[in-house]
Amino acid sequence: QVRLEESGGGPVPAGGSLRLSCTWSGYRSTSYCMGWFREVPGKERERVATIRSDGVITYADSVKGRFTISEDKARKTLDLEMDSLIPADTGMYYCTQKVGGSCPPAQAQYRFWGQGTQVTVSS
């Protein structure tokens, strides 16, 4: 069983920055995918950024060049640095993990989820 806990969300003006952090505990397979998804009311949870156990990173087109995902294996953390935030980035951000080294875009493929942290970008 894996536990994930997010922190770092909050309100921020457009153009600002936030850093989200996810701390995980429990057993993690040597082959895995971890990442961040976000959800807004009425829409499906969408993939923002993922990182594979071999280090391959994928970003949603909407956040490329503005967001950076990073992992600290020793501290068991997964961070998301978000710069140049825009109102469309508003949503609940979830940390997630799955077994296996692929990082599919569909949320249903991910087994473990945190409770989420809210990010609100004002114009």
In this predicted structure, the answer to whether residue 1 has a pLDDT above a threshold of 90 is no
- Sole residue written with tokens 């998301």: 80
Q: What are phi and psi of 108, to 5 degrees?
A: -65, -20
User: What mean pLDDT do residues 16-34 have?
Assistant: 95
- Sole residue written with tokens 């921020």: 12
pLDDT band at 94 (very low <50, low <70, confident <90, very high): very high
In this predicted structure, the answer to whether residue 68 has a pLDDT above a threshold of 90 is yes
Q: How far is CA 24 from CA 62, 71, 78, 112, 118, in A?
A: 26, 11, 8, 10, 18
User: What mean pLDDT do residues 85-104 have?
Assistant: 96
pLDDT band at 27 (very low <50, low <70, confident <90, very high): confident
User: What mean pLDDT do residues 24-41 have?
Assistant: 94
